[in-house]
Amino acid sequence: MAHCDPSASKAVDGGLSEEFAFAEHHGSAGRRVVLITSGGTKVPLESRTVRFLDNFSSGRRGASSAEYFLDSGYAVIFLHRHRSLYPYTRLYTGVNLLDSLQLETGKEDAGQILVDQNALPNIAKVLKRYQAVKAAGLLLPVEFNTLSEYLHLLKAAAQALSSIGSKAMFYLAAAVSDFYIPAYEMPEHKIQSSNGPLQISMKMVPKMLSPLVKDWAPKAFVISFKLETDPSILLERAWRALETYNHQTVVANVLDTRRGYVVVVTKDTQQELVLTDEEVQKEVEIEDRIVSNLTEAHSEFMSRQV
Amino acid sequence: MAHCDPSASKAVDGGLSEEFAFAEHHGSAGRRVVLITSGGTKVPLESRTVRFLDNFSSGRRGASSAEYFLDSGYAVIFLHRHRSLYPYTRLYTGVNLLDSLQLETGKEDAGQILVDQNALPNIAKVLKRYQAVKAAGLLLPVEFNTLSEYLHLLKAAAQALSSIGSKAMFYLAAAVSDFYIPAYEMPEHKIQSSNGPLQISMKMVPKMLSPLVKDWAPKAFVISFKLETDPSILLERAWRALETYNHQTVVANVLDTRRGYVVVVTKDTQQELVLTDEEVQKEVEIEDRIVSNLTEAHSEFMSRQV
């Protein structure tokens, strides 16, 4: 378990006191704070890692949700996989930067370089919003690569957020591996293909939701995500998670339809959120609906705590 | 083998005739053409893929090498992993696009958006070079995600390049998986963690170097890469590859030192290319040395073919 147990962490990195200060600052200003986790985790197969197991996730849901939480007045800690999608910037991720720039004409050197606003739709509006969020200090990015980095950073962030009680929300959208190879079972060097076919034996990752809900941030409003490929087992899995971890909400979704359909499941309720064809065409995002559903539920949750 | 055998490919995508035309056009203009492969391959563990095995590779070596080949007068087919580093653009990959842009001051709406040239060092020079390469049609990008996409696209590109004989170079820098799970052994749905610890059993990927050298492009100049974490086995592995596949050159490198040290191995020679500390400080790139070594060897190779 050495590789996966956050309590085995040696050094606490410089970012943690920053998270604490962030939570304190916004909490005492009466602002709610959401920790969003986003992107997949990397699970090394060798100590000197050449190969790793990964989870499919571009980080789209986490990054777009961050924007809607910011629009709703939340401060956001964005715990994301290195190079996964980032709020606002995500809108231009399919564009090659150099295809969107133009050298000012008529000036040999030292000319300006201009953005081709056709190549980056809505860039002026998006840039203004990004700069406003940044200037107000409302978005704190924290990066992970591996599963074990993720686990350590989640624990630290959870403890930082516990200081603001029920004003804290956890929105656990990252695609976290269920399996890992303990350090003591991992080969040091690159696995040689000349040794023949590969057998990999992986252990279960301890579920972090239990200690998060029980110990690290017991007053917080906690949402986990459940992604399945088989729709027939989706709700049962969601209910089982709520029973096991005793948190507030599961957002359940199926791989193929995740951008237009989710079910928000609590112990007593289940609400389907669906985008119509017309909404899809108008580029409405399902995260807008998810976030507005959850911010409302968070308000009710907070009012019950007082 | 169904999942990995390029001959099992159903449709040949639209990009292939493009590669053929690209090779013909540049070849008949007397230009050499290099196919660079770059980035890691994704190996799905489920048919509806949530989890996959990946190889560590940012695509840095392939992307920077492409620039040096273009500087040396080559036309470049850049077969790269989706979202891995891209020639020229790679220089700004650590910068958030929105942090490098400024709204023109004093104009409420409809103002220009300018690049902060301090945030993007040398951007004017790099942009000019990028635009010149693009205007001259010297760089043809082709993208893959999975191992099987990579294998199909490599075969197609190799066949397209066979038409220009010894003027073609293959620079196989991609980090290609040695292992995969055949389609018929793959579960359809997401593997459930409730089933307990995970056992993965992977087959060997057929080596593409054999048919490439023997059948697909028998007159081309072919370079493969060998990355190890254990320096003590590096050269032996390189020699074994040359013996097995009968191609011209292996560029051998060790994970920890790959940015400052490689060995260019042929059947009769081995040349160490090393950056001095001073060169590293001046941001000289080892790919500059690798490419100039290989373009020279390619000239000799071509002269021997006539």
Gap from B187 CA to chain A (nearest CA, Å)? 11
**A255 touches B at CB < 8 Å:** yes
Q: Where are the domains of chain B?
A: 18-304
Which tokens hold the place of A131? 């700069």
Q: How far is CA B273 from CA B252, B262, B306, in A?
A: 10, 5, 29
Q: List the 106-125 stretch of B: residues with Cβ below 8 A of A.
A: 109, 111-115, 117, 123-124
**A177 touches B at CB < 8 Å:** yes
**Helix (H, G, I), strand (E, B), or coil: what is residue A151?**
helix
- pLDDT tens track of chain B, all 306 residues? 334 433 333 334 445 689 999 999 999 999 999 999 999 999 999 888 889 999 889 999 999 999 999 999 999 999 999 999 999 999 999 899 999 999 988 766 668 999 999 999 999 999 999 999 999 999 999 999 999 999 999 999 999 999 999 999 999 999 999 999 988 888 888 888 777 888 889 999 988 999 999 999 999 999 999 999 999 999 999 999 999 999 999 999 998 899 999 999 999 999 999 999 999 999 999 999 999 999 999 999 999 986
* Among B41, B84, B89, B178, the residue to mutate for chain A (most A Cβ within 10 A): B178
Which tokens hold the place of A266? 């609590």
* Chain B residues lying within 8 Å of A52, measured CB to CB: 53-54, 56
Q: How far is CA A65 from CA A14, A36, A109, A220, B230, in A?
A: 26, 8, 42, 18, 43
CATH superfamily label, B18-304: CoaB-like (3.40.50.10300)
pLDDT number for residue B107: 66
Alpha-carbon distance of A41 to B128, in angstroms, equals 38
* Among A41, A43, A46, A51, the residue to mutate for chain B (most B Cβ within 10 A): A51
Alpha-carbon distance of A62 to A174, in angstroms, equals 7
Alpha-carbon distance of B223 to B251, in angstroms, equals 7
- Cβ distance B56 to A56 less than 8 Å, yes or no, reads no
What are the helix (H) ranges across chain A?
15-28, 60-71, 123-135, 147-161, 209-211, 234-245, 277-281, 286-305
- The per-residue pLDDT for range A103-125, each reduced to its tens digit, is 988 766 668 999 999 999 999 99
- The per-residue pLDDT for range B217-228, each reduced to its tens digit, is 999 999 999 999
Alpha-carbon distance of B296 to B304, in angstroms, equals 13
Q: List the 77-106 stretch of A: residues with Cβ below 8 A of B.
A: 83, 86, 88-89, 92, 96-98, 101, 103
Tokens 């990054």, residue? A63
ipTM for the assembly: 0.88
* Chain B residues lying within 8 Å of A115, measured CB to CB: 101, 112-115
- Cβ distance B190 to A227 less than 8 Å, yes or no, reads yes
Q: Closest-CA residue in chain A for B57?
A: A50
**B1 touches A at CB < 8 Å:** no
Sheet holding A43-44, edge to edge: A43-44, A51-55, B51-55, B43-44
Q: How far is CA A44 from CA A85, A185, A248, in A?
A: 22, 11, 32
Residues 6+ apart with CB under 8 A from A274: A260, A261
Burial bucket for residue B117 (CB in 10 Å: 0-12, 13-18, 19+): middle
